[in-house]
């Protein structure tokens, strides 16, 4: 029986969109999305590209390659304007951070600069920088939902098929094909491919085979506020007590971590919490007008806290690309770029993220 595609991609969030764009250059790709592209965590995220994460500014996995992959994928897809690289400012918010930030700047002098308090205040007067700050000039922010749309549109220019409102009910594997059953409303349809790439993100709990991978969902919320007039339009993205990402005349504030949730409705208490902590970093945010809130679920691996990529255990044609967590903007493009190679040789997937052989 003939295949409907070389690769069926289930899920059109960040992982699915990056994979679809890259694979569409060399493969016949068909994307199936249960809702709308970027409707999950990708639609709620503020899109901070921060290569030095956590309280101690530890570099993300494969730091330089990851930064390059973000720009490369956006350039290839004709969407480079989405990432203007305005930099990321990390003000010190705890005593021990100053030492860690200095060490990060010394180890990566081309990617980060330590700003003593006087320099930081002179350049960024609206930010509480009494203890100094780390400046990351190659960082910035990306509208994740716009990135997802741009990548999928570019994939369609290479003849990829992208379907919304097409939930997958189950999958199976035969010696000659991977098969998914798609809900078509009054009926169902089976589609076949050489490989199926499951990029379901927060949709994983419905499927026992994915639940067994050790995934965990964490609800996070962002709050959009009117930009206070005291903060000019060139105000950079911030990461410290939460984060602040400029978007024209508004700011996106984040985030919280909720491990015990039963719905994705934005929580007024979370809004208050996010506003309070970001106002400690940018005092002018106190009392800023709230325009809207969004919530989504970050999926991470409970043990490694790194993405998972590769064939599912005891499978060869059924793959997953998931667990992007809060680092997805820096890991999804990097891993997607190498997908054609990984599909040909699963053993080449780097050990920290590989599902091959587990």
- How far apart (Å, rounded) are the C-alpha atoms in residues 273 and 255? 9
Report which of 155, 148, 213, 177 is spatially closest to residue 11, judged by C-alpha positions.
Answer: 148
Q: Look up the domain containing 11 and give its range.
A: 5-44+145-214+303-348
Q: What is the pLDDT of residue 231?
A: 82
39-49 confidence digits (pLDDT tens) = 888 878 889 99
pTM, full prediction: 0.96
pLDDT of residue 357: 58
Check whether residue 178 and residue 244 sit in a common domain. Answer: no
Among left, alpha and beta (phi > 0; psi -120 to 50; other), residue 190 is beta
Tokens of 152: 């999928």
Q: Are residues 163 and 289 in the same domain?
A: no
The CA distance from 257 to 224, in Å, is 17
Burial degree of 50 (CB within 10 A; 0-12, 13-18, 19+)? buried
Residue 3's pLDDT is 87
Question: Residue 173, CB half-sphere, CA atoms under 13 Å: how many?
Answer: 15
Q: What pLDDT shows up at residue 358? A: 55
pLDDT for res 115: 97
Count other C-beta atoms under 10 Å from residue 280's C-beta: 14
DSSP-based three-state secondary structure for 248: coil
d(CA 306, CA 269): 29
- The verdict on 17 and 136 lying in the same domain is no
Sign of CA dihedral 49, 219, 295, 244: negative
Same domain, 210 and 221: no
Residue 91 lies in a domain: yes
What CATH number corresponds to the domain at position 133? 3.30.9.10
- Asked whether 57 and 97 are in contact (CB, 8 A), the reply is yes
Q: For residue range 268-317, what is the model confidence (pLDDT) as tens digits?
A: 999 999 999 999 999 999 989 999 999 999 999 998 889 999 999 999 99
Q: Is the domain of 230 the same as that of 265?
A: yes
Q: What is the DSSP string of 273-299?
A: HHHHHHHHHSGGGTTPPEEEEEEEEEE
Closest C-alpha to 60, from 112, 16, 19:
112
Residues of the chain with pLDDT under 70: 1, 356-358
Residue 55 located in a structural domain? no
Residues 291 and 228 in one domain: yes
Tell which of 298, 313, 335 closes a domain. Answer: 298
Residues 222 and 285 in one domain: yes
Number of domains in the chain: 2
């Amino acid at each position: 029986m003939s295949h409907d595609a070389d690769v069926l991609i289930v899920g059109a969030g960040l992982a699915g969109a990056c994979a679809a764009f890259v694979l569409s250059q060399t493969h016949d790709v068909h994307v199936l999305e249960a809702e709308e592209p970027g409707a999950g965590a990708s639609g709620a995220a503020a899109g901070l590209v921060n290569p030095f994460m956590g309280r101690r500014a530890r570099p993300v996995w494969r730091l330089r390659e990851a930064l390059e992959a973000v720009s490369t994928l956006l350039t290839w897809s004709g969407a480079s304007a989405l990432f203007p690289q305005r930099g990321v400012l990390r003000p010190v918010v705890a005593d021990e951070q100053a030492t860690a930030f200095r060490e990060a700047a010394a180890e990566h002098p081309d990617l980060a600069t330590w700003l003593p308090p006087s320099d930081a205040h002179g350049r960024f007067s609206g930010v509480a920088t009494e203890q100094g700050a780390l400046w990351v000039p190659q960082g910035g922010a990306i509208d994740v939902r716009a990135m997802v749309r741009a990548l999928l549109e570019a994939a369609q220019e290479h003849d990829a098929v992208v379907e919304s409102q097409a939930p997958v009910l189950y999958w199976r594997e035969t010696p000659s094909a991977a098969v998914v059953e798609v809900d078509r409303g009054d009926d169902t349809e089976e589609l076949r491919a050489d490989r199926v790439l499951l990029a379901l993100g927060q949709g994983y709990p419905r499927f026992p085979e994915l639940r067994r991978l050790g995934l965990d969902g964490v609800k996070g919320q962002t709050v959009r506020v009117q930009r206070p007039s005291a903060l000019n339009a060139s105000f950079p993205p911030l990461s410290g007590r939460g984060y602040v990402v400029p978007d024209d005349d508004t700011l996106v504030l984040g985030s919280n971590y909720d491990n015990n949730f039963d719905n994705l409705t934005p929580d007024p208490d979370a809004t208050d919490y996010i506003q309070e902590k970001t106002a400690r970093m940018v005092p002018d945010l106190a009392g800023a007008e709230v325009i809207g809130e969004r919530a989504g679920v970050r999926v991470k691996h409970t043990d490694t806290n790194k993405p998972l990529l590769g064939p599912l255990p005891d499978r060869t044609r059924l793959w997953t690309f998931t667990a992007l967590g809060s680092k997805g903007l820096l890991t999804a493009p990097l891993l997607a770029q190498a997908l054609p190679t990984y599909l040909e040789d699963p053993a080449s997937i780097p050990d920290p993220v590989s599902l091959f052989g587990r």
